[in-house]
Amino acid sequence: MWESETESVSGRGLLSSSKHGVKTDGFEQQGQSWYVATDIPSDLLVHIGDVSFHLHKYPLLSRSGKMNRMIYESRDEELSKVSLDDLPGGSEAFELAAKFCYGIAVDLTATNISSLRCAAEYLEMTEDLEEGNLIFKTEAFLSYVVLSSWRDSILVLKSCERLSPWAENLQIVRRCSESIAWKACANPKGIKWQYTGKPSSVSSPKWNEMKDSSPSRNQQVPPDWWFEDVSTLRIDHFVRVITAIKVKGMRHELIGAVVMHYAARWLPGLIKEESGSLDEGSNSSNSNGISSSSWKGGLHMIVSGSRDQVTSVQAKDQRMIIESLISIIPQHKDNVSCSFLLRLLRMANLLKVAPALVTELEKRVGMQFEQATLADLLIPSYNKSDTLYDVDLVQRLLEHFLVQEQTEISSPSRSSFSDKHMHDSNQRGTSLNAKMRVARLVDSYLTEVSRDRNLSLTNFQVLAEALPESARTCDDGLYRAIDSYLKAHPTLSEHERKRLCRVMDCQKLSIDACMHAAQNERLPLRVVVQVLFSEQVKISNAISRSSLKDAGDSHYQPLAVSNRKSLLEATPQSFQEGWTTAKKDINTLKFELETVKAKYLQLQNDMDNLHRQFDKITKPKQASGWTAGWKKLGKLTKMTNLESNDSSPHAPNTEHTRKTPRRWRNSIS
């Protein structure tokens, strides 16, 4: 993508020597042997692997210090055969070096410059032997052509994968990495990013022209324009480039994004583990589900998660990739997704990555554990545990989350007192919301793993009680997990059932959960009683609050019909049904009470009639008229005396104490 103005088409350059001792028209290949097209017979045979070169001593001795030592320092003065099996770059690089020695023009490109530079160093083609030797010219091409080009720097760095340790010692990897990092962090103004990722045969614009030109108004360079090219590198060179980019101040979120992009390319099983299919741009997979890599270094990626398909070499290579990715993930929160970290953790446990790196990865997951999903937490147990899922791992993640939350809350702030108070309040609110999300996630996880009959009661209880009580405002999810565990473990004793139900607070259950628990035969009887009692208390409190509210509203501020309707619609359906049933019961009791009162009055009237009839029957026979008259006259005399006494001046309030004379019912005859 980035090119130098001194570069010819496709980053090539012609290299030739002005002096040569043997005139030739070029090299000819016959099978696995190379011959010099000249009339002078060859006097030196060079073997490099299965390829042999029939050459002449003088052109090589005049420019190669190593060939000088091998020929003149050997005991055999008539040495005519030389083996160079350890030459970096192999027969291809030696062919170019030999052509240079014979004065034949050599076409330098980004794909052969690194091998030719290493071969020149191996053959010791320095300036001491001849001015303008191969080391000088290859170094000039690297510095002025390759390092000024984005695409050529990528290609040279990829070609260095099979040249270790020569490329490292000659600083080719370091210089290319820094060149790529500098261009990735540069101002993207004027970058024609559509050239990125193109094959080397496509000519790209020159860097000096691009940095001065202005981009089209309708064309914007995305911040991840360099992801695809960098992701084609081998893992060790990718780490070198990312490290250099970090040093130059690249944003942490972009560092995390390119790490995930690299994992999606070379670890497709990390992204699509079930289907085993590869993402676009990744390597093609064979019938066994193992992706074949184009790397000549031998790194092969494993798509499927089956342990039977993991060979020792493949597991070692993939373990190296995972360990390298863990080491370069930014330490800041939210730079990579929690789902990516959990999937990386799953593969790390499968491939038995170094324990220190696994612990570091677990801490990273704990920093953003509230972002996890249930599917990501269902990590199989790859150790000798009998459980289907790794419950101990989730417990460790939860502990890291709680430790991180406590650290963030207790961390001191350098701001003022008011700002610090506001910051602490916001921090506590955010922490509480995160704990509530984690509580719902843990309840869902417990519901899922409780179906495993090998899950012990202790593991279930420890994981359920790990969060504080304030994290759960409602224990319905915990109740579902307990009920699921009781279904999968029908042989639990009564003591174990009670112990299991202690992790649940019956007062935090909703009305629907209470109704289900009241009819649940798997729960202990004591728990059912507690549920019924809490439900009764809730209904009573709701009725009392509603009654007080209705009474207050009727005296002071009556609610409009629309407000009542909106409140009724906002009320949960289960509460509305319970309140309707309670109102019906109250109305029924009122009606029955009125009926009982009416019956009581009727019975009292009947009783009075019976008493009057009984008095008439049992009344004694009346005496003579004179006797009755004298008795009534005596009573009248007594009453008259009492009235006269009461009318005296000493008698207070005579009007109130005066009694009305009794009416005569029987006449005197």
Give the residue among 299, 263, 300, 297 at the shortest CA–CA distance from 285.
300
What's the whole-number mean pLDDT along residues 283-300? 34
pLDDT digits (tens, 9 = 90+) for 131-178: 889 999 999 999 999 999 999 999 999 999 999 899 999 999 999 999
Structural domain boundaries, residue 442: 368-409+429-546
Q: Which of the pair, 237 or 79, is modelled with greater confidence? A: 237
pLDDT digits (tens, 9 = 90+) for 435-468: 999 999 999 999 999 999 999 999 999 999 999 8
Domain end (from 127, 148, 169): 148
What's the whole-number mean pLDDT along residues 589-608? 80
Continuous H helices in 452-572: 457-464, 476-488, 494-501, 511-518, 525-555, 561-570
Q: Which of the pair, 456 or 303, is modelled with greater confidence? A: 456
Q: Which of 77-91, 235-249, 300-314, 553-567 has the highest mean pLDDT?
A: 235-249
Stretch among 98-102, 264-268, 415-419, 436-440 having the lowest mean pLDDT: 415-419
Q: Which pLDDT does position 39 carry in this prediction?
A: 75
- Residue 543 scores a pLDDT above 60: yes
What's the whole-number mean pLDDT along residues 381-396? 87
- Domain-located, residue 232: no
- Residue 545 scores a pLDDT above 80: no
pLDDT digits (tens, 9 = 90+) for 482-500: 999 999 999 999 999 999 9
187-194: long-range contacts, CB 8 A cutoff, minimum separation 24: 188/221, 188/223, 188/225, 189/214, 189/215, 189/221, 190/214, 190/215, 191/1, 191/215, 191/221, 191/225, 192/1, 192/219, 193/1, 193/221, 193/222, 193/225
Q: Which pLDDT does position 386 carry in this prediction?
A: 82
| Mean residue pLDDT across the chain | 76
Instruction: Assign 16 a pLDDT band (cuts: 50, 70, 90).
Output: low
What's the whole-number mean pLDDT along residues 217-245? 87
- Domain-located, residue 72: yes
Q: Which of the pair, 553 or 316, is modelled with greater confidence? A: 316
- Domain-located, residue 534: yes
What whole-number distance in Å separates Cα of residue 506 and Cα of residue 542? 17
Instruction: Assign 553 a pLDDT band (cuts: 50, 70, 90).
Output: low
Q: Which of the pair, 203 or 391, is modelled with greater confidence? A: 391
Burial class (CB in 10 A: 0-12, 13-18, 19+), 25: exposed
- Residue 318 scores a pLDDT above 80: yes
- Domain-located, residue 64: yes
CA dihedral sign of residues 503, 505, 510, 512:
positive
Q: Which pLDDT does position 647 carry in this prediction?
A: 47
Q: Which pLDDT does position 295 carry in this prediction?
A: 36
pLDDT digits (tens, 9 = 90+) for 350-361: 888 999 999 999
Domain end (from 546, 573, 600): 546
- Domain-located, residue 464: yes
**Domain total for the chain?**
2
Domain end (from 102, 127, 148): 148
Q: Which pLDDT does position 15 carry in this prediction?
A: 62
- Beta carbons of 384 and 452 less than 8 angstroms apart: no
- Residue 364 scores a pLDDT above 60: yes
- Domain-located, residue 154: no
Instruction: Assign 408 a pLDDT band (cuts: 50, 70, 90).
Output: confident
What's the whole-number mean pLDDT along residues 502-531? 85
- Domain-located, residue 67: yes
Q: Which pLDDT does position 239 carry in this prediction?
A: 96
What whole-number distance in Å separates Cα of residue 367 and Cα of residue 338? 9
What whole-number distance in Å separates Cα of residue 118 and Cα of residue 97? 10
Stretch among 121-135, 175-189, 258-272 having the lowest mean pLDDT: 258-272
Q: Which of the pair, 386 or 293, is modelled with greater confidence? A: 386
Q: Which pLDDT does position 616 carry in this prediction?
A: 81
- Domain-located, residue 78: yes
Instruction: Return the CATH number at 133.
Output: 3.30.710.10
Q: Which pLDDT does position 300 carry in this prediction?
A: 32
Q: Which pLDDT does position 577 carry in this prediction?
A: 56
What whole-number distance in Å separates Cα of residue 12 and Cα of residue 3? 11
Instruction: Assign 510 a pLDDT band (cuts: 50, 70, 90).
Output: confident
